[in-house]
Amino acid sequence: MPSSSLPPIPPELRALMAEIGPRWRESVAANVKLICERFSEVLALAPRDGVAVTEGHRYGPHPRQVFELFMPPGQGEARDRPVVIFVHGGAFVEGDRNRTSEVYSNVCIYFARHGIVAVNMGYRLAPDAVYPQAAEDIASVVGWCKQHAGDLGIDPSRVFLMGHSAGGCHVGTYAYDRRWQPEGGHGLAGVIIVSGRMRADNLPENPNARKVEAYFGTDASTFEDRSPVTHVDADSPPTFVAWAEYENPLIDLYCAELVYRIGLAKRKTPPVVYLPGHNHTSAIAHVNTADDVLGSAMIDFVRKTCGLPASTSSPKE
């Protein structure tokens, strides 16, 4: 489909982002809600290009242990597609895999439009689940995808995890901390972190400090060991990191620390995208719009990590 069919971010929405960006931290919850609502209006116009969505895949007894599967058009006899498992945010105690009818499914639709199978997974939240149980849920979905690889037309060696905000933290816990991986290791081809809270903290400048404590506990002496960045090493999976100009407090710092630690361990920095003008929520909500810097970079990361040629054109109808 020609890129011109992707809906642009309207000038009035750009103006709103510019207005609230510098004061994003003053009212995070209200700003998240507003940006989700406004981007949902834009995403309702976004192409789906024959993407097939199946709902209600269960991987555990809890109501949140469920996911949707997004299959690319023209599946045919494909047996070597990558799969991206998306893990939503919500400050550890809230949020949903469908924040609205359009956010976060926009991410999975975007990957499927580009020939990549995508999974939009739910997971248990605090207080029902505490550290490291969200990472255990991720392990279950990774295992499910590998077990059903033949049915899905995916290559089980091409499984990617992607997390936003708290979801990025949970992805990092599974991907980097060997204690929460199956016996054979993480089994991942790569990791995508967008605006991830890669450190547990209850600092005064974190407006979600009490929510962090609900998942990680109140003993700050455990936070270093429970933070994903602590466990990065030379064998960590290939990682892509992105964050916005206007983030929830400390998230940009923690994403930058992740880049540094990966670079230090692997002696080469990972791919990074910085999103000027964007905020913590628009960083993920704008995927599958005409603002395609992040989207195209993520597609190229997946393809290059899999040894496939970089994407050179928009998906076709």
* pLDDT (0 to 100) of residue 5: 87
Q: What is the pLDDT of residues 118-130, one digit of tens each?
A: 999 999 999 999 9
User: From its phi and psi, is residue 159 left (phi > 0), alpha (psi between -120 and 50) or beta?
Assistant: beta
Q: Which CATH architecture has domain 3-305?
A: 3-Layer(aba) Sandwich (3.40)
Q: What is the pLDDT of residues 249-295, one digit of tens each?
A: 999 999 999 999 999 999 999 999 999 999 999 999 999 999 999 99
Q: Is 58 in contact with 65 (CB distance < 8 Å)?
A: yes
- The 10s digit of each residue's pLDDT in 201-247 is 999 999 999 999 999 999 999 999 999 999 999 999 999 999 999 99
- Phi and psi at 277, nearest 5°, equal 85, -15
Task: Please tell me the predicted confidence (pLDDT) of residue 78.
Answer: 76
- Per-residue pLDDT for 200 more than 90? yes
Mean pLDDT, the chain, as a whole number?
Answer: 95
Say yes or no to pLDDT of 89 above 80: yes
- pTM of the full predicted structure? 0.96
- Give the strand order in the sheet containing 52-58: 52-58, 66-71, 117-121, 81-87, 154-164, 190-194, 239-246, 272-279
The 10s digit of each residue's pLDDT in 21-54 is 999 999 999 999 999 999 999 999 999 989 999 9
Q: Is the peptide bond before 127 cis (omega within 30 degrees of 0)?
A: yes
Residue 2: pLDDT band with limits 50, 70, 90: very low
Has residue 182 got a pLDDT over 80?
yes
pLDDT at 74: 79
